Amino acid sequence: MPNCKSVYEPREDSTMLEAWVKKYAFGKVLDMGTGSGIQAIAAAQKSNVKSVLAVDVQRGVIEYCRKNIKNKKIKFMQSDLFGRIKEKFNTIIFNPPYLPQELKLKDLTIEGGKKGYEVIEKFLNEANNFLNSDGIILMAFSSLTMKDKVDGFIKNNMLDFEELDKMHIFFEDIYFFLLTKNEFLKKLENKGISGIKYFAKGHRGLLFTGTYKKIKIVIKTKNSESTAYGRIENEAKWLKKLNRLKIGPKLLLFDNGYFIYEFIAGDFILDYLKKSDAKGIRKIIRKIFNQLFILDKLKIDKEEMHHPVKHILVRKGKPYMIDFERTHYSQKPKNVTQFCQFLMSGSVNEILRNKKNYGGKNSIIQLAKIYKNEPSNCNLNTLINSILK
Ligand SMILES: Nc1ncnc2c1ncn2[C@@H]1O[C@H](COP(=O)(O)OP(=O)(O)OP(=O)(O)O)[C@@H](O)[C@H]1O
Ligand SMILES: C[S@@+](CC[C@H](N)C(=O)[O-])C[C@H]1O[C@@H](n2cnc3c(N)ncnc32)[C@H](O)[C@@H]1O
Ligand SMILES: [Mg+2]
User: Tens of pLDDT along 188-228?
Assistant: 999 999 989 889 988 889 999 999 999 999 999 998 887 87
Q: What is the mean pLDDT of residues 152-176?
A: 93
Q: What CATH number was assigned to the domain covering residues 12-181? A: 3.40.50.150
List, as one string, the DSSP characters of 20-57: HHHHH--EEEEEES-TTSHHHHHHHTSTTEEEEEEEES
Architecture field, domain 267-387: Orthogonal Bundle (1.10)
Q: What is the pLDDT of residue 220?
A: 97
Q: How far is the CA of 285 from the centre of ligand 3 (A)?
A: 22
In our burial notation (b when 16+ CB lie closer than 10 A, e otherwise), range 237-251 reads: bbbebbbeeebbbeb
How many CB atoms are closer than 10 A to CB 273? 22
Q: Binning pLDDT at 50, 70 and 90, where does residue 348 land?
A: confident
Distance CA 164, CA 270 (A): 48
Q: What is the pLDDT of residue 238?
A: 98
Q: How far is the CA of 195 from the centre of ligand 2 (A)?
A: 24
Backbone angles phi, psi at 151, to 5 degrees: -55, -40
Q: Which of 50, 122, 48 is nearest to 80 (CA)?
A: 122
Q: How far is the CA of 206 from the centre of ligand 1 (A)?
A: 9
Q: How far is the CA of 204 from the centre of ligand 3 (A)?
A: 6
- Nearest alpha carbon, ligand 2 atom 25: 109
Each residue's pLDDT tens digit, 47-92: 999 999 999 999 999 999 999 999 999 999 999 999 999 999 999 9
Q: What is the mean pLDDT of residues 334-359?
A: 85
Nearest-atom index, ligand 2, CA of 10? 9
Q: How far is the CA of 323 from the centre of ligand 1 (A)?
A: 6
Stronger pLDDT, 365 or 336, i.e. the higher one: 336
- The region that residue 21 occupies, defined by phi over 0 for left and psi between -120 and 50 for alpha, beta otherwise, is alpha
Q: Tell me the CA end-to-end span of the chain in Å, nearest whole number.
A: 76
- In sequence order, the β-bridge partners of residue 51 are 28
| Ligand that lies nearest to the alpha carbon of residue 311, given by its number in the listed order | 1
Q: How far is the CA of 60 from the centre of ligand 2 (A)?
A: 12
- Asked if 254 and 209 touch (Cβ cutoff 8 Å), the reply is no
- Asked if 289 and 339 touch (Cβ cutoff 8 Å), the reply is yes
For ligand 2, say whether the CB of 109 is within 6 Å of any of its atoms. yes
List, as one string, the DSSP characters of 58-73: -HHHHHHHHHH---TT
Percentage above 90 pLDDT, the chain = 75
Q: Which CATH superfamily is domain 186-262 in?
A: Phosphorylase Kinase; domain 1 (3.30.200.20)
| Ligand that lies nearest to the alpha carbon of residue 138, given by its number in the listed order | 2
Each residue's pLDDT tens digit, 6-28: 888 999 999 999 999 999 999 99
**Least reliable range by pLDDT among 289-303, 328-342, 348-362:** 348-362
Q: Tell me which residues have their CB closer than 6 angstroms to ligand 1.
A: 200, 202-205, 207, 218, 249, 261-264, 310, 313, 322-323, 325
Ligand 1 pocket: which of 198, 220, 322 to mutate (most atoms <8 Å of CB)? 322
- List of residues 6+ apart from 188 with CB closer than 8 A: 196, 210, 219
Nearest-atom index, ligand 2, CA of 11? 9
Domain ranges of the chain: 12-181, 186-262, 267-387
- Asked if 165 and 176 touch (Cβ cutoff 8 Å), the reply is yes
- Asked if 387 and 356 touch (Cβ cutoff 8 Å), the reply is no
- List of residues 6+ apart from 222 with CB closer than 8 A: 204, 205, 206, 231, 232, 257, 258
- Asked if 212 and 236 touch (Cβ cutoff 8 Å), the reply is no
Mean model confidence pLDDT for the chain: 92
Each residue's pLDDT tens digit, 268-292: 999 999 999 888 898 999 999 999 9
Helix (H) or strand (E) holding 373: helix 361-373
Helix (H) or strand (E) holding 150: helix 147-156
For ligand 2, say whether the CB of 57 is within 6 Å of any of its atoms. yes
Ligand 2 pocket: which of 69, 82, 109, 123 to mutate (most atoms <8 Å of CB)? 109
Q: What is the pLDDT of residue 104?
A: 60
At residue 359, does pLDDT exceed 80? no
Distance CA 376, CA 371 (A): 7
Q: Binning pLDDT at 50, 70 and 90, where does residue 111 land?
A: confident
At residue 1, does pLDDT exceed 50? no
For ligand 2, say whether the CB of 33 is within 6 Å of any of its atoms. yes
| Ligand that lies nearest to the alpha carbon of residue 322, given by its number in the listed order | 1
Each residue's pLDDT tens digit, 135-146: 999 999 998 888
Q: How far is the CA of 310 from the centre of ligand 1 (A)?
A: 7
Q: How far is the CA of 330 from the centre of ligand 3 (A)?
A: 19
Is residue 265 exposed (0-12), middle (13-18) or buried (19+ Cβ within 10 Å)? exposed
Q: Binning pLDDT at 50, 70 and 90, where does residue 2 land?
A: very low
Is this structure's pTM higher than 0.75?
A: yes
Each residue's pLDDT tens digit, 232-261: 999 999 999 999 999 999 999 999 999 999
* Sign of the C-alpha dihedral computed for residues 52, 55, 59 and 60 taken in this order: negative
Q: What is the mean pLDDT of residues 340-351?
A: 87
Percentage above 70 pLDDT, the chain = 96
- Domain 12-181 and domain 186-262, same fold? Reply is no
